[in-house]
Amino acid sequence: MDQAGADPNGGADGIKALPLAGCSGVIQVIKPLVEAGADPNVTDMGGSKPIEVAAVIGNRSGVEVLIPVTSPIPSCVGWSINGIMKQANSKKFKKKMNRKAMEYFLEATSRGTSAFQRKEYWLAVYWYSKQWVT
């Protein structure tokens, strides 16, 4: 919790603030979240840490802020800013991200269809809307 009582890890429906900030690329959001105690090792719905998310979009400044507070990722051969940037932009990593996104999409679709068949339309809408959140 920060001084105002807000949870820097907070997020709705499983979406955490720091991975979302990493995805936005806005360093002015990433740095205060880290300073407020946001967990840099939390993963997004696709299983990626905020540092990986920042690296994928080319946010080198975000990677620089996150590297000292993030636990090393075993699959990352070079635990350095350049190493993370290189890995996140490799074909292998992008393939992994696409696979995770597809798995999440299929799970959300299945849950939405199931809810629709049970005539729980509000829940169906919820899950169908989650198809696009990765």
The pLDDT, as a whole number, for residue 20 is: 72
Cα–Cα distance for residue pair 115/109, rounded to 1 Å: 10
Q: Which CATH superfamily is domain 1-89 in?
A: Ankyrin repeat-containing domain (1.25.40.20)
Q: Give the count of beta carbons closer than 10 Å to the beta carbon of residue 74.
A: 7
Ordered by start, the domain boundaries in the chain are 1-89, 91-134
State both tokens at 81. Answer: 């800013």
Q: How many CB atoms lie within 10 A of CB 13?
A: 9
| pLDDT score recorded for residue 48 | 84
**Angle separating helix axes 17-24 and 27-35, nearest 10 degrees:** 150
In this structure, how many other beta carbons lie within 10 angstroms of the beta carbon of residue 18? 29
Per-residue pLDDT of the chain (134 residues; tens, 9 = 90+): 445 556 777 655 455 778 777 766 667 788 888 888 888 998 876 778 899 989 988 889 999 999 999 999 888 878 999 999 999 889 988 888 888 888 888 888 898 899 999 999 988 888 888 665 54
